[in-house]
């Protein structure tokens, strides 16, 4: 009974928070029904849970950041590389973004579990290290309420690329992939972290992939 009452009270509080957000004209970082649910209410279900990293906690608490429950669990569990957390925090300084996956729930091929290598057949990248598997990659599917798919040249979506380019080279992702129209409009090259192979652009028409190829540092030249 006590637990039921607690859940009811928390749900009521959440409804009030959502109403407050709606009243100031801002929408959730994720589409309705995706992310920002009970996972970010810091429920005390277990005394044995490890504390969440400070950077990841600040990201989870940021109203301009949204994530699916599986992506949020990766953040809470410390799976996500700190460089990637910092990059997402930098991007949310000017935009609302929603991450669909870090490691958990990411698939190159539907129903085929991810491994440390990209599966053969996924374009020319087959056989290369899988940055998602190591918690070094994020897939951003929504920007300021818009799906990336079909909105590659929208000013807000393009501005995500410009925000990434402003991050110092040694901290910026060196595996930045998105729709072909997005990459072409921005004009950034491989030296700044953009992957421009045609097959990869075609495979990323519906989201932005931000990743770090190596465990430390980056391969960015500038």
**pTM over cut 0.85:** no
Distant-in-sequence, close-in-space partners of 10: CB < 8 Å, separation ≥ 6: 38, 41, 43
Q: In whole angstroms, give the CA distance from residue 207 to residue 177.
A: 8
Assign 62 a pLDDT band (cuts: 50, 70, 90). very high
Assign 132 a pLDDT band (cuts: 50, 70, 90). very high
pLDDT computed for residue 26 by the predictor: 46
- What tokens appear for 218 in the block? 């980056």
pLDDT computed for residue 42 by the predictor: 45
pLDDT computed for residue 124 by the predictor: 81
Higher pLDDT, 49 or 157: 157
Answer whether residue 196 shows pLDDT above 50.
Answer: yes
- State in Å, rounded, how far the first CA of the chain is from the last one: 59
Average confidence (pLDDT) over 109-122? 86
Q: In whole angstroms, give the CA distance from residue 182 to residue 117.
A: 26
| Cβ atoms 193, 176 nearer than 8 A | yes
Answer whether residue 199 shows pLDDT above 80.
Answer: yes
| Cβ atoms 64, 32 nearer than 8 A | no
For the beta carbon of residue 145, count every other beta carbon within 10 angstroms. 14
pLDDT computed for residue 209 by the predictor: 98
pLDDT computed for residue 145 by the predictor: 94
Assign 52 a pLDDT band (cuts: 50, 70, 90). confident
């Amino acid at each position: 009974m006590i637990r039921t009452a607690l859940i009811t009270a928390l749900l009521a509080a959440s409804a009030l928070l959502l109403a407050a957000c709606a009243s100031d004209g801002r929408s959730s970082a994720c589409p309705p029904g995706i992310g920002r649910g009970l996972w970010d209410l810091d429920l005390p279900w277990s005394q044995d849970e490890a504390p969440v990293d400070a950077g990841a906690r600040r990201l989870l608490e940021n109203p301009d950041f949204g994530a699916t429950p599986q992506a949020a669990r990766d953040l809470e569990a410390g799976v996500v590389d700190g460089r990637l957390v910092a990059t997402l925090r930098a991007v949310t300084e000017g935009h609302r973004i929603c991450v669909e996956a870090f490691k958990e729930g990411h698939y190159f091929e539907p129903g085929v579990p991810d491994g440390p290598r990209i599966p053969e057949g996924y374009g020319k990248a087959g056989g290369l290290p899988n940055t998602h598997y190591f918690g070094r990659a994020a897939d951003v599917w929504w920007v300021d309420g818009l799906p990336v798919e079909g909105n590659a040249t929208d000013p807000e979506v393009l501005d995500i690329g410009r925000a990434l380019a402003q991050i110092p080279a040694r901290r910026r992702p060196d595996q930045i992939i998105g729709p072909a129209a997005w990459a072409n409009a921005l004009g950034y090259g491989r030296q700044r972290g953009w992957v421009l192979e045609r097959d990869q652009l075609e495979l990323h028409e519906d989201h932005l992939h931000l990743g770090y190829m190596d465990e430390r540092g980056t391969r960015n030249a500038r």
